[in-house]
Chain A
């Protein structure tokens, strides 16, 4: 069975500070990993995805995530937070052959303090 754990349901950072959102996955086979973002009153949109091509994945809006197999982690980072980054972030895992089954984490709400 596949699962993801997001550490911290709420994270606060100051504007301009590093953003680090943690995600650990569990999968018995090589995973596909995703980060989605949900802005207030909107649906989710894809930030980035890992599909084994490269361990460091760059996404939209300056976000990136690094796949670390030894740590079963896929943490999301951004060097400098902007007010517009305030949103809820979801990590998700799937695997080849899983046929449409994407498992989402419980989400982390990011607050950016001016």
Chain B
């Protein structure tokens, strides 16, 4: 089975800090995604990457950046964390286009920004 591993389950940061969320997948998937999950809002796509060093904005990229230096690793960066970025962050990967391929999700990182 595909495994998508997020480095931290819980993270507490202060406003203004630079925050790195790490994600690793072990199945050589081309595509990787970062979503945030908020109660009542479902999942919203922040960024995705379709190849090493390639990235595209999702629906809510403001305040975030990403890095994909190796195929298996996709990092989400909060340049200057703010309280409205307190959320559950989910990483996902897929073999092909996510519109008709299965997404494999990590178990999430609950980020609290104080």
Write the residues of chain A forming the contact surface with B, with a CB cutoff of 8 angstroms.
9, 32, 36, 41-46, 49, 51, 90, 94-102, 104-107
Does B97 count as interface, using CB distance less than 8 angstroms? yes
Q: Which residue of B lies closest to A94 (CB)?
A: B99
Residues of B within 8 A of A (CB): 4, 31, 33, 35, 40-45, 48, 50, 56, 58, 90, 92, 97-100, 102-108
B residues in contact with A106, CB < 8 Å: 40-42
Contact of A102 among B50, B99, B104, B108 (CB under 8 A): B99
By beta carbon, the residue of chain B nearest A45 is B105
Given contacts A43-B108, A90-B43, A106-B42, is CB(A32)–CB(B50) below 8 Å?
no
**Contact: B99 with A98, CB < 8 Å?**
yes
Main secondary structure of the interface of B (DSSP, over half): strand
With A and B bound together, what is the CA distance between A101 and B99 in angstroms? 6
Docked Cα-Cα span, A25 to B44, in Å, equals 16
Task: Determine chain A's interface SS by DSSP, over half rule.
Answer: loop
CB of A102, distance to nearest CB on chain B (Å): 5
User: B41 near A94 (CB under 8 angstroms)?
Assistant: no
Which of A49, A101, A104 is B43 in contact with, Cβ under 8 Å?
Answer: A104
Are B102 and A49 in contact, CB atoms less than 8 angstroms apart?
Answer: yes
